[in-house]
């Protein structure tokens, strides 16, 4: 295993005075294998972390979509129930010969007057 290896890892280590003796090539091979294993482990850890982050992001999107669906269902179910409650309340009050006043405020025109370009800026 003696000789001049100027263009190899063994030549580099030998030139730096780091490796001497008959097992110099074995030490170089072990060092190279360790470096390769460390690089592979780092790459695998990075890939696993990115995969976990992707799964978490997908779960967050699904949870947000489920929450939006729940809100839609609650609003869809609660508005007719509220209207039924108001109607029954008015009818019971009228049957009892109480005075009933229903004041309703339509705010839909308010949203039509907003300048959306200015609002978005």
- Residue 65: helix, strand or coil by DSSP? helix
Give yes or no for residue 6 having a pLDDT over 80.
no
Q: What's the first-to-final CA gap in the chain, in angstroms?
A: 74
Whether the full predicted model's pTM is greater than 0.85, yes or no, is: no
The set of residues, in sequence order, having a beta carbon less than 8 Å from that of 14 and lying 6+ positions away, is 5, 20, 24
Which phi and psi (to 5°) does residue 56 adopt? -65, -40
Exposure string over 103-115, b if 16+ CB within 10 A, otherwise e? eeeeeeeeeeeee
Report residue 18 as tokens: 């780091």
Q: How confident is the model at residue 118 (pLDDT cuts 50, 70, 90)?
A: confident
* Residue scoring higher pLDDT (68 or 117): 68
Q: Round the average pLDDT of the chain to a whole number and report it.
A: 80
Tokens in use for 71? 């809100």
Dig out the tokens for 75 from the structure: 């609003």
What span, in angstroms and rounded, lies between the C-alpha atoms of 108 and 69? Answer: 24
């Amino acid at each position: 295993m003696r000789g001049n290896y100027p263009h190899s890892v063994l030549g580099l280590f030998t030139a730096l005075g780091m490796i001497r003796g008959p097992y110099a090539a074995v030490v170089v091979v072990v060092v190279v294998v360790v470096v390769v294993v460390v690089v592979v482990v780092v790459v695998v850890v990075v890939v696993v972390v990115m995969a976990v982050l992707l799964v978490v992001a997908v779960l967050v999107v699904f949870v947000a979509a489920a929450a939006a669906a729940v809100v839609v269902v609650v609003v869809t179910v609660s508005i007719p129930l509220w209207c039924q409650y108001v109607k029954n309340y008015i009818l019971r009050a009228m049957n009892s010969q109480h005075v009933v006043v229903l004041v309703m405020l339509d705010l839909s025109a308010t949203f039509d007057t907003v300048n959306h370009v200015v609002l978005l800026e």
